[in-house]
Amino acid sequence: MVDAEPKKVGTPRFRRIMLKLSGQALAPASSFGIDPERVRAIALEIKEVVAMGVQVAIVIGGGNIVRGQTYERNGMDRATADYMGMLATVINALALQDTLEQIGVTTRVLSAIQMQAVCEPYIRRRAVRHLEKGRVVVFAAGTGNPYFSTDTAASLRAAEIDAEIILKASHDVDGIYDRDPLVYAGARRYEHLTYIDVLTHNLKVMDAAAISLCMDCRLPIIVFNLKQAGNIKRAVLGEPVGTLVDEGP
């Protein structure tokens, strides 16, 4: 039997992307920790994008393991809680690296906090070189500093490596809404917003520092639902997915 002619792969709109994943994206439903099946599903989508010739960088959160804000509310020193959260992102990065490499995607983890026994230290030129060689690069430990979120880390690293867009994956909504759609049935989803819109209306997309940095660097953001299979590829191809945030017309 002759195999059917393979389908043509679309042309990616972006050459180099920053994928921002929450730690919760790796967690079992309604629980903490790491769900191997969820990690594998994400890894397979990343592999598909890499096969299109797209350079993929990733920043991942650690909320599925440690939520620094929770510890702070219970009296822990803020800096200590944030460092604990950074270490949680390293655990997630290593889990994602292992899964990607099991399916044939060469991956490097670069940490803002040096721990050379398990991953490379973050060096901008090294990160860019890895990307140019077709390796997926996972940035761990946030910015290496307390008081900065992994959203800000994603914006900073994206600017440093000249990424063309940030794809911010959500595990519960399919874009940005005027109100929480999980609470208000009549919440309206935006297809397009400017950075100023997000800051002025205090829309919960990324923290203000992250949005401001993206605005300064004219770095667009797409907020989309990770649970819908194929959305990473659709976003890379330039198909309308979720909500686009940029400087506007």
Q: What is the pLDDT of residues 190-223, one digit of tens each?
A: 999 999 999 999 888 899 999 999 999 999 999 9
- How confident is the prediction for the chain on average, in pLDDT? 92
Does the pLDDT value for residue 7 go beyond 60?
no
* Check whether domain 16-246 has CATH 3.40.50.970, yes or no: no
| pLDDT band at residue 5 under the 50/70/90 scheme | very low
Least Cα distance to 136 among 55, 61, 60 occurs for 55
Kindly tell me if the per-residue pLDDT of 99 is higher than 50.
yes
Are 124 and 161 in contact, with CB atoms under 8 Å apart? Answer: yes
Half-sphere CA count of 193, side-chain side, radius 13 A: 26
pLDDT of res. 248 = 83
What CA–CA distance (Å, rounded) separates 209 from 232?
25
pLDDT: which is higher, 8 or 74: 74
Per the model's pLDDT, the better-predicted residue between 61 and 32 turns out to be 61
Q: Which of 66-75, 112-121, 145-154, 164-173 has the lowest mean pLDDT?
A: 66-75
pLDDT at 20 over 70: yes
Give the strand order in the sheet containing 107-111. Answer: 120-121, 107-111, 136-140, 55-60, 16-21, 165-170, 221-225, 243-246, 192-194
pLDDT on residue 185? 84
170-184: pLDDT as tens digits: 888 899 998 888 888
Output the pLDDT for position 9: 55
* pLDDT score of 200: 93
List the domain boundaries for the chain. Answer: 16-246
